A and B are shown apart, each in its own frame.
Chain A
Amino acid sequence: AQSVSQHNHHVILSEAASLELGCNYSYGGTVNLFWYVQYPGQHLQLLLKYFSGDPLVKGIKGFEAEFIKSKFSFNLRKPSVQWSDTAEYFCAVNGVSFQKLVFGTGTRLLVSP
């Protein structure tokens, strides 16, 4: 069965600090990878996704993620966070033979002004 681990449950940063959120998955086959963001009181929105090709993918709002197949990782990065990035971030994986998206437990990011 596929699973997703997000090791950082809570992260607190000051504005302009750099961000890296870890995501590791367990699944031996071909995968599609996603990062979703949930702003306070809102539904999940897609930040970025990886299907194939360049392992460095860029998403909205200056976020990017790097797929490292050998490490089963898909870490999310942003060079300089803003207060408006305060949210919960979810990594998700979809093995192409599975009919569901499996989510990690999420990372709550608090950016202080």
Chain B
Amino acid sequence: EAQVTQNPRYLITVTGKKLTVTCSQNMNHEYMSWYRQDPGLGLRQIYYSMNVEVTDKGDVPEGYKVSRKEKRNFPLILESPSPNQTSLYFCASSFSLAPGELFFGEGSRLTVL
């Protein structure tokens, strides 16, 4: 089954404790992206990757890191999480963003205390 898989789906952590949210897609997609969803703000792009070893900042990259060492994986790293990073995170992939459509993962709900 074609899908984008994120883990963990739910996480409660404390300020400053490094964490990684994994994202894996099995559709051989070139493009991958991370979004965060906050009430009243919609989805905002954090980082994206056009291909392996190619990543770039989105609209809200502060406090996040990413890597794209393999085509299928695109982990999101929070080196020192803070409460303002409490959010719902979505990973998405596309064969080609222009003019492709995005396929989304199930989401990861993160709470930083």
Q: Give residues in A with beta carbon < 8 Å to B.
A: 6, 9, 32, 34, 42-46, 49, 51, 90, 94, 96-106
Residues of B close to A45: CB separation below 8 A = 104
Residues of B close to A96: CB separation below 8 A = 98-99
Q: Give residues in B with beta carbon < 8 Å to A.
A: 31, 33, 35, 40-45, 48, 50, 56, 58, 90, 92, 97-99, 101-102, 104-107
Specify the main secondary structure of chain B where it touches its partner: strand
Given contacts A42-B106, A44-B104, A45-B104, contact A100 B33 (CB under 8 A): yes
Residues of B close to A104: CB separation below 8 A = 42
Given contacts A99-B56, A100-B58, contact A90 B99 (CB under 8 A): no
Q: Are B90 and A43 in contact (CB under 8 A)?
A: yes
